[in-house]
Amino acid sequence: MLATADALAILLDAARAIDGIETLPTLDALNRVLATDVTSPLDVPPMHTSAMDGYAVRIADLAHGSRLPVSQRIPAGHAPAPLAPNSAARIFTGATVPAGADAVVMQEQTEVAGDEVTIVHRPQAGEWITAQGADIRAGSVILPAGTRLTPQALGLAASVGCAQLAVRRRVKVAVFFTGDELTMPGEPLKPGAIYNSNRFTLRGLLEKLGCDVTDYGIVVDQLDATRATLREAAEAHDLILTCGGVSVGEEDHVKPAVEAEGRLSMWQIAMKPGKPLAFGAVRRGAVGTAETFFIGLPGNPVSSFVTFLLFVRPFVLRLAGVQAVAPRALSLRADFTQGKADRRNEFLRARVNAAGGLELFANQSSAVLTSTVWGDGLIDNPPNHAISAGETVRFIPFSELLN
């Protein structure tokens, strides 16, 4: 069986950033991926500013006494006059420091009487002054290409005056599901049937990644129908994602359909849950070499959820142009014992307790979707390793895997 790291490496090696760039208003670019570097055209702040409400002074003037007349008042957003010799300027947070001033004394360290202020604190040069360019220097790259735009990244772009951003187009993903046993919520549940939870989970995961999703729904367990859906999906999408139907049973038609319409590799990955994974491509049109990627996930709900997070998520992000796709893991204490080691790499559903340790969901079956809602993330447990209470384990939060 293939190690999880090796399977992921194969996927990421195949993924290439999609073509297509569009320009969006910065306000509308949340979760999109930058196509080009954002370079600041100016210093931030663009001038020396006050970090406090107080009084701007020239330190040399205080050598002759601490009582100074107030020569001007400087609110934020107003251009000050140069500081008159032997005077102080009333200044507010964020306001421009007047030329000639080399310190700001906070108002709590002054005494005011009429139009004069007494400085009761001897300031150091630069005290409470935020220097021009302290945050950003003109010409510096503040957001590199490949950055997925968070709310704070949009704010950073706006802080240097970027009204528009060049982003990659959304990754286009087609999804469909196979199995005559699948029933949609709201329909009667016939004997032997199950509700199609994977459709809701996987569509939600794709939409959370910012994909443009086409949902072909439940495809009947027939080879011709499966091939027709693959051909249609390949024409206008970057990736086709399916769930179930990739084994070798007589009613599992996805594998032969993909092999007839393109190419397919079937992997047995040394992981639990989620051992089977299919990866390949479907031809676009009758001629030419253009292809649409294909990934087939296992049908068990927890298996499809975990394999999506570990393999589909980074693959889709790499298609979108994101380079840093690895989730950040934490080292946390296990507040449980799992004495039986598995020969596969286990991904255990767990949550953080009030003491900062990890609790394990009691039933780790690949069919128990409850564990994915109860848990805060996955323990990445190496093969052949039993976990003892008190030891440190590698924990990947869902907040990382769902981002």
Q: Which residues pair with 83 in a beta bridge?
A: none
Choose the final residue of a domain: 266, 294, 319: 319
- 47-84 pLDDT, tens digit per residue, is 999 999 999 999 999 998 899 999 999 999 999 999 99
**Same domain, yes or no, for 228 and 284?**
yes
- 256-268 pLDDT, tens digit per residue, is 999 999 999 988 9
Structural domain including 373 reads 330-401
| CATH at 62 | 2.170.190.11
Choose the final residue of a domain: 319, 342, 375: 319
Which of 241-245, 276-280, 359-363 bottoms out in mean pLDDT, i.e. has the lowest? 241-245
Please give the radius of gyration of the chain, using alpha carbons only, rounded to the nearest integer.
Answer: 30
How far lies 336's CA from each of 42, 223, 386, 387, in Å? 54, 47, 11, 8
**Same domain, yes or no, for 311 and 213?**
yes
How far lies 149's CA from each of 106, 166, 167, in Å? 37, 11, 9
- 278-304 pLDDT, tens digit per residue, is 999 999 987 778 999 999 999 899 999
**Same domain, yes or no, for 114 and 158?**
no
**Same domain, yes or no, for 184 and 299?**
yes
- Asked, for residue 31, whether it belongs to a domain, the answer is yes
pTM over 0.85: yes
- 108-122 pLDDT, tens digit per residue, is 999 999 999 999 999
Mean pLDDT, the chain, integer: 94
- Asked, for residue 324, whether it belongs to a domain, the answer is no
What pLDDT does 250 receive? 45
- Asked, for residue 164, whether it belongs to a domain, the answer is yes
- Asked, for residue 325, whether it belongs to a domain, the answer is no
| CATH at 159 | 3.90.105.10
